[in-house]
Amino acid sequence: MFDSRFVRTRQDMKPGALVSRATGQIQRQASDAFDEAAEIASENRVVVAGTLAAVAVWFLRKPIMSWLDSKLDSEDQLEEDADDAI
């Protein structure tokens, strides 16, 4: 009985076996974390949508600001042209 446990323990301690066990454990933990995140996201869709919208606005802030500046400049120009016409 001792010999069989000893042989099994030696096999478990081989580098390939350790990597295999560690990889399996990491995959299980990642899968569990993903499942939990998916569950939380499905329960809080509004929060997730708001967060994604905020991130999108953050990444698009420079083009949005440029667009707004161009619109405001064109409106200012229209007002100046109207004042000059009077």
84 band by pLDDT with thresholds 50, 70 and 90 = low
Parse the chain into domains and list their residue ranges: 1-43, 51-86
57 band by pLDDT with thresholds 50, 70 and 90 = very high
Q: Is the pLDDT of residue 41 over 90?
A: no
**Quick one: DSSP state of residue 14?**
S
- Three-state secondary-structure class, residue 13: coil
- 11 neighbors 17 (Cβ within 8 angstroms): yes
Question: Amino acid letter at 36?
Answer: E
* Residue of 70 and 18 predicted with greater confidence: 70
The stretch 13-33 carries a mean pLDDT of 86
Q: Which residue bears the tokens 């420079």?
A: 62
**Quick one: DSSP state of residue 60?**
T
HSE-up (13 A, CA, CB side) for residue 53: 6
pTM of the entire predicted model: 0.46
